Amino acid sequence: MKDVWNLSAIAPWEKYCSKHPTQKPLALLTRIILASTEKSAWVLDPFTGSSTTGIAANLANRKTYCSSEVLTSGKGSTQACLQ
């Protein structure tokens, strides 16, 4: 794995569930999860926002995803993405 990752910006389809102001690209979060966890690891996202981390954890075949969101505006977008 190289020191510099060349990744594209958030794709239009990634904004389908949410227009969260600090949403990260799915490719970035997937790569971070793959680089820093094993398949049986927990993935914690204390600021869920648009649930991109949870989607990335699922795509990376991680066993468990734990999240929370303090802003009520983020909770609705999370539920929409998961349904």
**Residue span of the structural domain in which 67 resides:** 22-82
pLDDT at 77: 47
pLDDT at 83: 45
Q: What is the CATH number of the domain that holds 41?
A: 3.40.50.150
Token pair of 13 as six digits: 């389809």
pLDDT at 73: 54
Q: pLDDT of 28-81, one tens digit each?
A: 999 999 999 998 888 888 887 778 888 899 889 887 677 776 655 544 445 445
Q: Is residue 17 part of a domain?
A: no
Q: How many domains does the chain have?
A: 1
Q: Is residue 66 part of a domain?
A: yes
Q: Taking the model in full, what pTM does it have?
A: 0.69
DSSP 40-76: T-EEEESS-TTSHHHHHHHHTT-SEEEE--SSHHHHH
